């Protein structure tokens, strides 16, 4: 079996080339061919010495993901399903906007965290993705889109680790993938434009701060432990106070001066004014230790097995107002690609038929929100 070069960050590729008896700078050239140009054929890499190209042909390959299908949404969102073997399928979503292109990447096949409101969580855990499987989602999407759109320059400007899986439960494979995203010889994304979203794996938040401090989004979903235990079972291991302390420590290294908290709005469960007031007190208590936060309210994307429903928009707006009046920057996330089941938490392929209700609600929502100045944003604006 040959080695898939997509499994390496630049440091790893350098070590690999040295093993082949090559100089370090050859690794940089090779890395650029792979990630800047999307090349898979070593013969095409004309500035590499013929002897190296011959060595590579016998030992190595650049193997992208196996595409199962592509779905194009009316709003420009594109979702790919990739086959990662043994019946496992993962999803990657591209969200275009006027000023940016965001790719939402998966880190695991399934997820072991079992959050009640998440379709991937209901599916259970299958396995960790390899570095190659993580980065090849970006490699594939970037080069596909350049060709598709006829563009020479970069299309994807932001990456969010918000697809399937808990990225911080797959840390060893995630880290080199993040390095490739940030590397100027790779994708050259700034730390602010790469976001790791986590349900709260406290020790790994500290490691990320040390090893590769990118933007951090934390899936909070509840203002107190009893409710959060129920929605995000990981909370029993790392309760809210510990999680927020880790966030405060992270901030010292973070590329942005705030941590984003994601909060999925579940009708009658966590969306009452009382919950908002509890959140305000919680955040104020941690602010005194130096935590500064931003909230991103996510309208719940329903799926039958959850038994949960989406909060009505007036409820979301009232909730946002309480946070904002307390001085907490709050946005409401716009649902993108829901006609192709590419919305947050739906990435498992197992979603019910959609009626026009969602679209009507979305239109209504936009109208209501305009009046009261709650900003509706995309997943990219975490
Ligand atoms: N495991 C990581 C990242 C993947 S989930 C995490 O939990 O943060 C990305 C985001 O989608 C999380 O904030 C998650 O809480 C949210 N999400 C999950 N299911 C959802 C659903 N059904 N509707 C809306 N958001 C959902
Ligand atoms: Fe896993 Fe995140 Fe879904 Fe929870 S919300 S089950 S951590 S993917």
Residue 335, pLDDT score: 76
DSSP structural state of residue 328: -
| Distance of alpha carbon 278 from the chain centroid | 27
- Which of 163, 160, 166 lies closest to 111 in space, CA to CA? 166
- Which of 65, 95, 64 lies closest to 79 in space, CA to CA? 95
Q: Is the CB of 113 under 6 A from ligand 2?
A: yes
User: The domain 66-379 is classified under which CATH number: 3.40.47.10, 3.40.50.300, 3.30.365.10, 3.20.20.70?
Assistant: 3.20.20.70
Q: Going by CA atoms, what residue is nearest to atom 17 of ligand 1?
A: 345
User: The domain 3-61 is classified under which CATH number: 1.10.10.60, 1.20.1640.10, 1.10.620.20, 1.10.150.530?
Assistant: 1.10.150.530
Residue with tokens 């594109």: 78
- Which of 175, 134, 181 lies closest to 156 in space, CA to CA? 181
**Ligand 2 mean position to 147 CA, how many Å?**
33
From 111, 270, 346, mutation site for ligand 2 pocket: most ligand atoms within 8 A of C-beta: 111
DSSP structural state of residue 240: H
> Per residue in 122-171, pLDDT tens?
999 999 999 999 999 999 999 999 999 999 899 999 999 999 999 999 99
CA pair distance 201, 51, nearest whole angstrom: 46
Helices of type H across the chain: 10-19, 24-35, 50-59, 119-123, 131-149, 171-182, 202-211, 225-231, 240-251, 273-287, 313-325, 357-372
What residues are annotated to the active site? 91, 344
Residue 369, pLDDT score: 34
Q: Phi/psi zone of residue 328: left (φ > 0), alpha (ψ -120 to 50 degrees), beta?
A: beta
Q: Where are the domains of the chain?
A: 3-61, 66-379
Residue 379, pLDDT score: 66
Q: Going by CA atoms, what residue is nearest to atom 21 of ligand 1?
A: 345
Residue 341, pLDDT score: 76
Taking 50 as the pLDDT cut, the residues of the chain under it are 348-373
CA pair distance 336, 190, nearest whole angstrom: 24
**Residue 98, Cβ density class (10 Å: 0-12 exposed, 13-18 middle, ≥19 buried):** exposed
Residue 300, pLDDT score: 95
**Ligand 1 mean position to 313 CA, how many Å?**
19
CA pair distance 301, 9, nearest whole angstrom: 35
Query: Residue 58 has which token pair?
Result: 């016998």
From 174, 298, 336, mutation site for ligand 1 pocket: most ligand atoms within 8 A of C-beta: 298
Query: Residue 312 has which token pair?
Result: 């009505």
Residue 5, pLDDT score: 98
> Which ligand 2 atom is the nearest neighbour of the CA of 120?
3
Residue 135, pLDDT score: 98
Residue 345, pLDDT score: 61
- Which of 185, 198, 192, 316 lies closest to 247 in space, CA to CA? 198
**Ligand 1 mean position to 118 CA, how many Å?**
6
Q: What is the pTM of this model?
A: 0.91
């Amino acid at each position: 079996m040959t080695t898939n070069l997509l499994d390496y960050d630049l440091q790893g590729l350098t070590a690999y080339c040295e093993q082949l008896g090559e100089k370090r700078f050859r690794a940089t050239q090779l890395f650029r061919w792979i990630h800047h140009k999307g090349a898979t054929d070593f013969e095409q890499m004309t500035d590499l010495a013929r002897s190296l190209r011959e060595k590579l042909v016998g030992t190595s390959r650049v193997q992208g993901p196996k595409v199962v299908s592509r779905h194009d949404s009316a709003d420009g969102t594109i979702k790919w399903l990739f086959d990662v073997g043994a019946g496992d399928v993962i999803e990657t979503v591209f969200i275009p906007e006027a000023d940016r292109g965001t790719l939402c990447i998966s880190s695991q096949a399934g997820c072991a965290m079992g959050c009640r409101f998440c379709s991937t969580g209901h599916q259970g855990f299958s396995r960790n993705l390899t570095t190659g499987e993580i980065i090849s989602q970006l490699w594939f999407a970037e080069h596909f889109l350049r060709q598709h759109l006829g563009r020479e320059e970069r299309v994807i400007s932001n990456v969010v680790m918000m697809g399937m899986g808990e990225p911080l439960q797959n840390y060893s494979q995630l880290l080199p993938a993040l390095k490739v995203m940030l590397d100027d010889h790779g994708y050259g994304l700034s730390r602010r434009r790469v976001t790791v979203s986590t349900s709260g794996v406290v020790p790994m938040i500290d490691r990320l701060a040390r090893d590769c401090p990118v933007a951090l989004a934390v899936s909070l979903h509840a203002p107190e432990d009893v409710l959060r235990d129920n929605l995000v079972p990981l909370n029993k291991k790392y309760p809210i106070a510990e999680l927020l302390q880790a966030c405060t420590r992270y901030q010292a290294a973070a590329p942005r001066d705030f941590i984003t908290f994601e909060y999925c709005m579940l009708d009658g469960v966590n969306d009452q004014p009382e919950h908002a007031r509890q959140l305000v007190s919680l955040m104020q208590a941690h602010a005194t230790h130096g935590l500064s936060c931003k909230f991103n309210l996510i309208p719940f994307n329903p799926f039958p097995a959850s038994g949960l429903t989406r909060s009505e928009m007036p409820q979301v707006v009232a909730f946002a107002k309480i946070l904002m009046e307390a001085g907490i920057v709050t946005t409401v996330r716009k649902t993108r690609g829901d006609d192709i089941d590419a919305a947050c938490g739906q990435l498992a392929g197992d979603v019910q038929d959609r009626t026009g209700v969602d679209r009507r609600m979305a239109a209504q929502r936009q109208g209501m929100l305009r009046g009261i100045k709650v900003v509706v944003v995309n997943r990219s604006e975490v």
